[in-house]
Amino acid sequence: MNYLHRAILSSLIIFIVPIHMFSQNYMSANDLSDLEQIISLDSEEEMISLKKKFPIQTINGRNYLSFIGKTNPDFDIKKLKKQGCIVHSTVNQLFTLKVPIEKLQIAKELKGLSFLSISKKMNCALDKAVSDVRADSVHMGLGNLPQGYYGDNVIVGVTDWGFDYTSPVFYDTALQQTRIIAAWDQYKLSGPSPQNFPYGTEYADVNSLLQAGSDTSNIYSYSTHGTHVASIAGGTGAGTEFSGIAPGVNFLFVTFLVDEGAVLDAWEWMYQKSLEEGKRLVVNMSWGLYHAGTLDGNSVLSTAISAYTDLGVVFVNSGGNNGDVNFHIKHQYNSDTVESRINFYSYSSHQYMWGQSIHAWGEVGNAFSNQIQIKNVAGDILTESPYYNTLTTSQYIDTFIVAITDTIWYNISADAAHPLNERPQMRFRVKCTNPSLRVMLKSTATEGLVHYWNVTELSNDVGNWGMPFTSFQTGSIAGDNENGISEPSCADDVVSVAAYATGWTSPGGNPIGGGIASFSSRGPRFDGEMKPDIAAPGVAIAAALSSFTDGQYTSIGSVEFNNKIYRFARLSGTSMAAPMVTGVAALILDAHPNISASTVKDVLLQTAREDNKTGILPAGGDPTWGHGKVNALAAVEQAVLLNQVQNLQGSNEILIYPNPVQDELFIDIPVEVSSIALRDLSGKIYQIERNGNHVNCNRLQPGIYFISFQSNHRNHVIPFIKK
């Protein structure tokens, strides 16, 4: 049958590719269908094509597919290793797994798992800014600081692409010694690989770093993103005014394969390195994705972040750059139907453009149905797909419909109850290359709230930008820019960062800038939890470029070092805002090395500042600004105070418990006290609701507080945490 005959026939029937579903329930429908697609490949050409879409890596001449998962006690790691798999346990029963392509049947027959997923691919989402966040005041030891802080004895780990290991901004201020402890290029195959991670190449000494020069060309060719990000967090500026937030830190760089398993491996590698060095670790992630994870804090990466946070690691993540795109819809169903136009990114604007990915999440127990409808400019219906219901679509569907002479391809995967959160979900991917056609999303349900996101789908699976939902004809609806925080910025314990334009004062004394960046993604998380957490400068941020980049940038300055020119440029994005906060977190850890990672986040949020641009923000945070603009001076002042209070705790005269507290705090006071006061990190005084030795804490917002007592001419200050 020739193509024309097949196209005509397909306008009358739907061509469905059924995928056999397995009895195990530790994988989602989408992962099962993708796994079967990879298993069925039978040529080198297909392998090359699938490598663009899936996390397939060649290690020592052998192709592996990357997975992430969570184990039960019955999991047998030794058995997998004997079968040629590369497997590594991380934290909280999480693990990464690489299975040889020819042995993928293993993934369908594993024992002792609660969850397994094919790793999803990821994408990357100073001068006046240092002053804006008050970091220069910290460097100078102003305010109530006993000294200046620069991030000494703290490690900043950056997972990214485009590192220049030779850049002078990563040296000490005397330009004598590099501050890069080690780097791991997961793409480079020559080795040597890190211990316990048998892939990629590790540079663990100065000579190997300088000899390599930079990471290898990868998905972004020779990028500069990682260099710029790291320069913001902790670059010295190399004699220029473009110094970073914490110029005393050391660095760990990982150029990671664009999948979740590689990310988990990177975090574990960084954590082990920090233990070897005996230094605290802050991990910066200026990247994210909308179809990796569950977007509600239940993803594997979210679970890992919480586990590492408990071990003392601070995580900071860019919130996303879709604040100026109405790429989201939410609708509360009552036996009705909604319709909206799916807008497509231009096929001529990206060599890997495939189509649009519509990902929808509903409420537990409430199924919904989706279809696509193709219309012409006049609004006439040319063709449509069937409705696909989350409850009954147990097979992966890869098919097409034809509108006159145009073929519209689509594929669908759905879960009635996703293994990680029990929510119904559907991912509907559509390819339509004719811009004159109107591709409509129609959705219906009996009840329940459903969220939808329209994100560009590339053939190498790293698309990350939203495209609008718009109304077309009477009765259709447009999208909004809400609930736009990407993974893993949705994690409970990560510090999710929004971006704003740097604020400063003109020579004439007029305030300039300071407003939210139009591109900064808005929250909250779709389950209602508040994100982002905090905001930082992210518009036209000046920092170092990689001297190896093949990208084109407008240089704003340069330095010569070791007979080579290194340039600086201004870039924008929440990618630039995140390392601002990473640097401030490093300053906090410098001032208080024993502070917990969760308390670092509390300090950042409670000391964030408001101004005439933010307005007065709710106590629980704001979907645009989070808790306000990051304030390095106030945050480090509070870290110093916490450290002093902690060091004073040697007296058993007064005890308070439980700590942390939820409702009521009990105070054991065996001595006579003349006064009791309660205040928070910002210094605000609270009225104490005391009933004997009990203090009511119900009205307090979650965070850090201090109770101070005066007895026998002695001051007692005891901190506690309100959950």
Is residue 608 scored above 70 in pLDDT? yes
Residue pair 254/184 in contact by the 8 Å Cβ criterion: yes
- Position 111, amino acid: K
Predicted pLDDT at 19: 36
Model pLDDT for residues 629-644, shown as the tens digit of each residue: 999 999 999 899 888 7
Summarize the confidence of residues 655-682 as an average pLDDT: 78
Is residue 206 scored above 80 in pLDDT? yes
Dmax over CA atoms of the chain, in Å, equals 97
Specify the higher pLDDT residue, 108 or 312.
312
Predicted pLDDT at 1: 35
When pLDDT is cut at 50, 70 and 90, the band that residue 563 belongs to is: very high
Query: Exposure string (b/e) for 449-458, b if CB count within 10 Å is 16 or more?
Result: ebbbbbbbbb
Is 106 buried (19+), middle (13-18) or exposed (0-12) by CB count in 10 A? middle
DSSP 8-state symbol, 38: H
Which long-range contacts does 428-431 make (Cβ < 8 Å, 24+ apart)?
428/357, 428/358, 428/359, 428/360, 428/370, 428/372, 428/388, 429/354, 429/355, 429/356, 429/357, 429/358, 429/457, 430/342, 430/355, 430/356, 430/358, 430/372, 431/354, 431/355, 431/457
Predicted pLDDT at 641: 84
The region of weakest confidence among 12-16, 619-623, 630-634, 665-669 is: 12-16
Task: Spell out the domain ranges in the chain.
Answer: 3-18+325-470, 41-118, 127-321+489-639, 649-722
Q: What pTM, to 2 d.p., does this model score?
A: 0.81
Query: How confident is the prediction for the chain on average, in pLDDT?
Result: 87
Is residue 52 scored above 60 in pLDDT? yes
Predicted pLDDT at 70: 78
* Residue 459: Cβ within 10 Å count: 16
Is residue 8 scored above 50 in pLDDT? no
Model pLDDT for residues 286-322, shown as the tens digit of each residue: 988 887 789 999 999 999 999 999 999 999 999 999 9
Which helix H or strand E contains 637, and what residues bound it? helix 632-648
Model pLDDT for residues 510-523, shown as the tens digit of each residue: 777 899 999 999 99
Predicted pLDDT at 689: 80
Model pLDDT for residues 425-459, shown as the tens digit of each residue: 999 999 999 999 999 999 999 999 999 999 998 88
Specify the higher pLDDT residue, 242 or 223.
242
Measured CA to CA, the distance from residue 323 to residue 574 in angstroms comes to: 10
CATH number for the 41-118 domain, one of 3.30.70, 1.20.120, 3.40.5, 3.30.230? 3.30.70
Predicted pLDDT at 143: 87
DSSP 8-state symbol, 392: T
Look at residues 463, 529, 465 and name the one whose alpha carbon lies nearest to residue 496.
529
Specify the higher pLDDT residue, 709 or 25.
709
- Position 663, amino acid: D
Predicted pLDDT at 49: 73
Is residue 716 scored above 80 in pLDDT? no
Predicted pLDDT at 673: 63
Is residue 4 scored above 60 in pLDDT? no
The residue assigned the tokens 């759905």 is: 414
Residue pair 622/285 in contact by the 8 Å Cβ criterion: no
Domain 127-321+489-639 has CATH 3.40.50.200: yes
Look at residues 717, 687, 719 and name the one whose alpha carbon lies nearest to residue 700.
687
Phi/psi for 330 (5° steps) reads -135, 140
Specify the higher pLDDT residue, 75 or 22.
75
Most confident of 29-33, 215-219, 624-628: 624-628
Predicted pLDDT at 94: 73
DSSP E strands in 297-418: the ranges are 314-318, 328-342, 353-361, 369-375, 381-384, 388-389, 397-403, 406-415
When pLDDT is cut at 50, 70 and 90, the band that residue 170 belongs to is: very high
Predicted pLDDT at 588: 97
CATH placement of domain 3-18+325-470: 2.60.120
Predicted pLDDT at 577: 96
pLDDT > 90: what percent of the chain?
57
Is residue 648 scored above 70 in pLDDT? no
The region of weakest confidence among 159-163, 207-211, 289-293 is: 289-293
Predicted pLDDT at 22: 38
Residue pair 558/566 in contact by the 8 Å Cβ criterion: yes
- Position 429, amino acid: R
CATH number for the 649-722 domain, one of 2.60.40, 3.30.9, 1.10.3470, 3.30.70? 2.60.40
When pLDDT is cut at 50, 70 and 90, the band that residue 580 belongs to is: very high
CA angle 514, 518, 524 (to 5 degrees): 100
Predicted pLDDT at 75: 79
Peptide bond preceding 660 in cis form (omega within 30 of 0): yes
CA angle 362, 367, 373 (to 5 degrees): 90
Is residue 18 scored above 80 in pLDDT? no
